[in-house]
Structure 1
């Protein structure tokens, strides 16, 4: 189950409420009450996620997306520049350019998420084309082998 800030805040809030209820009615120490509240909240969220229909099943197949790898980008190119470039060839949902962790400077490659139907056209039109005095490399991105080892910043 993916966690985001809103889910985390919700879980903590429910756990605190659970701790208060347990400590008021059962006389247990607050730490144990908090742990019980957190466990019950986790179980409830787990069962809610199991019964939820995956979002991808609800999408129109014509709106599915593909992630493209874009390499050999000019270092001065930003997300907006790359989005505008790819938008000429179809619907662009997101652009993520990789940066060096220590310096914050762009590393010259990134990823573009776009409509599946438009992705092949973008690859055909932009791969090996010059952009900002550099020859772009555009292809469908590989799935990450281990999400924990990715260096996204």
Structure 2
């Protein structure tokens, strides 16, 4: 549970008020401490319930899709591709593939963007002219595991 200054101040205020109330009642200090701790915990839990986003909101805000982008101009760099896709949503990463031997770009890459924006970007950018080339944009396939060989 994250705590901010307002939560800490509220917890201290509840503890002080609880201490004042319990000081007028003649009960052992260990019991008054336990009651104060329980009441403070309940109060903090109540305060946090309406401020904490639900699990589905958190998952939605952080989910992403990887898109394959093919037929890119060889002179396009990561910044160019990121700016192109940023017009259609949140872009988290861009990776353009290069030839291992020569270091030159191979004309395709991958863009990681928000899953809520990915379908719109595919629709808007697939078969679009960019740098005198027609882009091919689709959702990327899962990488194949070459270590696992199935035998029948």
> Normalising by structure 2, what TM-score?
0.58
Q: Deviations over 1:39-81 (max 9, x none)?
A: xxxxxxxxxxxxxxxxxx9943233000000000000000000
> Which residue does 1:94 correspond to in 2?
93
Partner secondary structure for residue 86 of structure 1: helix
> Which residue does 2:107 correspond to in 1?
108
Partner secondary structure for residue 75 of structure 1: coil
Gaps of 5+ in 1: 1-56, 149-153
What's the RMSD between the two structures over aligned residues? Answer: 2.0
Within-5 A mapping of 1:2-151: 59-146=58-145
Partner secondary structure for residue 124 of structure 2: helix
> Which residue does 1:14 correspond to in 2?
none
Q: Whose Rg is larger?
A: 2
Q: Deviations over 1:2-36 (max 9, x none)?
A: xxxxxxxxxxxxxxxxxxxxxxxxxxxxxxxxxxx
Gaps of 5+ in 2: 1-55, 148-152
Equivalents in 1 of 2:62, 2:143: separation in Å? 22
**How many pairs were matched up?**
93
Equivalents in 1 of 2:108, 2:145: separation in Å? 19
Equivalents in 1 of 2:124, 2:80: separation in Å? 17
Equivalents in 2 of 1:58, 1:144: separation in Å? 28
Deviation at 1:131, TM superposition (A): 0.1
> Normalising by structure 1, what TM-score?
0.57
Deviation at 1:146, TM superposition (A): 1.8
Partner secondary structure for residue 60 of structure 1: helix
Partner secondary structure for residue 96 of structure 1: strand
Deviation at 1:99, TM superposition (A): 0.1
